[in-house]
Amino acid sequence: GFENLILLAHAMARTLVLPPKRQIFHMADKSAGRVFSLDDFYDIDVINKVQMGLNIITMEEFLKREALSGNLKSLETGESAYPPSNRTQWDNQRLNPLWNYLRKVTKSFEIWEPTQCVMAFPAVGSDIRSVAALMHNILVGADGRTFPRPNDFQGAPTRVDAPPTERLREILAERRKICMYDDNMHANYSVVHFKAEEDGTRLITDFYTFLYFEGESQYTSTIHFN
């Protein structure tokens, strides 16, 4: 999941905000009540320094910088909205109030479900037509081939430098939808929130099964980034 979020933040040219620290249920016996952050498992400082184009901050930093300054607006009224009790420190707290607040002031994409769609980035940010055309041609079998199945690529992986159509055929894995991210979406939503529910959407999947980059250079740079 974290791998996908890092790559999404980099591909979208957005700052990645880490969730607050909290106890981890499966580590409760050994940790004796200790709270953890992703910084305990990944060297965030090093990632920030060595990966150009990536910026990672804590939830506290984000709320102080964006929420308390009034930059976060209610999606319903357009007026500045502030976190519950103006709190910015949420480590090891009940997080439902924070999540509910964020979902009122940020854009959530519930349709971005890895089991249902492939997340696609056009080679040219504002031109979604080319990727849409690729998908349409695969769906209707424009080249005479049937819709691709995972078994088609067992022992016969697609080359990294293969044409965009071939790379898209491989990553689809029986999914028949693409979720698109383009310049218009980037301009219209200053903050994007990825919801993670136990009984709903969760980005727990390998990046190469979910993220599709039409441009070959985009794709190879992502592999090298990872």
pLDDT of residue 108: 80
Q: Could you give the CA distance from residue 144 to residue 43 in angstroms, rounded to a whole number?
A: 48
93 has a pLDDT exceeding 60: yes
- Residue 206, judged by CB atoms within 10 A of its CB (0-12, 13-18, 19+), counts as exposed
Which residues are registered as beta bridge partners of 55?
Answer: 15
Q: Where are the beta strands (DSSP E) in the chain?
A: 15-17, 55-57, 107-108, 118-121, 178-180, 192-193, 211-213
- Average confidence score pLDDT of the chain: 85
pLDDT of residue 5: 84
Residue of higher predicted confidence among 79 and 116: 79
Three-class SS state of 72: coil
CA distances from 14 to 7, 108, 221 (A): 10, 15, 17
Residue pLDDT, tens place only, 28-56: 555 556 777 777 777 788 888 877 778 88
**Is residue 202 a contact partner of residue 196, using CB atoms and an 8 Å limit?**
yes
Percent with pLDDT over 90 in the chain: 41
pLDDT of residue 155: 93
Q: How would residue 27 be classed by pLDDT, with cut points 50, 70 and 90?
A: low
pLDDT of residue 202: 61
Q: Could you give the CA distance from residue 162 to residue 221 in angstroms, rounded to a whole number?
A: 15
- Residue 114, judged by CB atoms within 10 A of its CB (0-12, 13-18, 19+), counts as buried
pLDDT of residue 184: 80
Q: Could you give the CA distance from residue 191 to residue 31 in angstroms, rounded to a whole number?
A: 34
Residue of higher predicted confidence among 154 and 113: 154
Q: What is the DSSP letter of 170?
A: H
**Is residue 57 a contact partner of residue 17, using CB atoms and an 8 Å limit?**
yes
Q: How would residue 24 be classed by pLDDT, with cut points 50, 70 and 90?
A: low
Render the burial of 41-77: b for 16+ CB within 10 Å, e for the rest: eeebeeeeeeeeebebbbbbebbeebbeeeebbeeee
- Residue 212, judged by CB atoms within 10 A of its CB (0-12, 13-18, 19+), counts as buried
Kindly state the average pLDDT of the residues 133-145. Answer: 95
Pull the structure tokens for residue 101. 């607040």
pLDDT of residue 50: 77
Q: How would residue 8 be classed by pLDDT, with cut points 50, 70 and 90?
A: confident
Which residues are registered as beta bridge partners of 212?
Answer: 120
Q: Could you give the CA distance from residue 130 to residue 123 in angstroms, rounded to a whole number?
A: 9
pLDDT of residue 225: 66
Which residues are registered as beta bridge partners of 57?
Answer: 17
Residue pLDDT, tens place only, 141-175: 999 999 999 999 999 999 989 999 999 999 998 89
Residue pLDDT, tens place only, 195-221: 766 555 566 778 888 899 998 888 887
pLDDT of residue 176: 93
